[in-house]
Amino acid sequence: MNIGKVIRKVVSTVKNKAFENRPLLLVQPLGINLEPKGSEVLCIDFIGVDLGEIILIMKEGSSVQQMLENKEAPADAAVVGVIDEIHVEGKNVFMKYPKN
């Protein structure tokens, strides 16, 4: 599992049937302190996230294929969670809903 930030929604007029009715997103992987880490990843959105959200990415092709119920699907990354808070060594690194 990796942390990432949704940076773009991908629009495709023609796509593999395995992806029908599933949004595709471009996600920037992040390090634990939310710094960009590596190249963007094309992800299938299973939960309905918005641009700019910090999310959890599963980058295991066979697991994504199981979620799609299609072991022939050309997929290897999926959005599987939205992150609300990140704490590292007792320090709050990220908080989606800051407390007043």
pLDDT value for 13: 83
Domain ranges of the chain: 2-95
Q: How far apart are CA 26 and CA 28, in angstroms?
A: 7
Q: Which is the CATH superfamily of the domain at 2-95? A: EutN/Ccml (2.40.50.220)
Give this prediction's pTM: 0.87
Instruction: Label residue 16 by pLDDT band (50, 70, 90).
Output: confident
Per-residue model confidence as pLDDT tens digits over 29-66: 999 889 999 999 999 999 999 999 999 999 887 888 88
Q: Are strands 2-10 and 54-58 parallel, antiparallel or unpaired?
A: antiparallel
Whether the predicted pLDDT of 100 surpasses 80 = no
69 in Cβ contact with 18 (< 8 Å): no
**Structural tokens at position 31:** 């390090």
Per-residue model confidence as pLDDT tens digits over 66-82: 888 788 888 889 999 99
pLDDT value for 53: 97
Residue 9, φ and ψ in degrees, nearest 5: -95, 140
Q: How far apart are CA 100 and CA 49, in angstroms?
A: 25
Whether the predicted pLDDT of 2 surpasses 80 = yes
> How many residues are there in the chain?
100
